[in-house]
Amino acid sequence: MINLFKIKDQKREVAGSANGRILVKKQSAAELRISCYITELNLPKTTTISFPNGKDDLMNFETTIQPDEGYYLGGIFTFTYQVPSSYPHEPPKVKCKTKVYHPNIDLEGNVCLNILREDWKPVLNINTIIYGLNHLFTQPNYEDPLNHDAAAVLRDNPRLFETNVRRAMSGGFVGQVHFPRCI
């Protein structure tokens, strides 16, 4: 039977003795887990992932969602993820970089998604979060809002809500708030 760990250790020793130091960086449990999850991602067709700090920094990345249905059809929304060292026991910190008129995303980019708060469990992964964010764009939830004004309009007047979303995504004002173009 081949002991792969022994072979790996021998290669490290040879590399270390060749130049006086070992170049292998030890990964934390969170880094190992996130690395595994990212290689196994099954992204929806509306979502892309990028690593602004390079592929060596898997703990900080971005996803871009471009909904293909619903109120937000055609919009482009970018989210940042900061994975804590306590992952998977603590959820990643997710923020929306795109200013959006949405009942579940406030004007500072905070996201109201239950699996990022009280319903987080270590068995959940990045794929689950991405699908949850996609769901927010196809089914915004006025019952658990961060943007109470948008939630009230969605609840009381869905046609006006749709008009406000289109105006915001086109780079206009909704009330006193200006939204940059995201279409």
The C-alpha atoms of residue 94 and residue 133 are separated, in whole angstroms, by 10
Q: How is residue 101 written in tokens?
A: 């008129």
Joined together, the tokens standing for residue 40 give 């196994």
Establish whether 36 is a catalytic residue: no
CA distance 102 to 67: 13
Question: CA–CA separation, 154 vs 164, rounded Å?
Answer: 10
Cα gap 106→61, rounded to integer Å: 21
Q: Are 46 and 19 in contact (CB under 8 A)?
A: no
Measured CA to CA, the distance from residue 40 to residue 81 in angstroms comes to 17
Residues pairing with 105 in the sheet: 102, 111
Catalytic member of 36, 96, 112, 182: 112
Q: How far apart are CA 182 and CA 77, in angstroms?
A: 7
Backbone angles phi, psi at 164, to 5 degrees: -65, -40
Catalytic residues, by residue number, are: 112
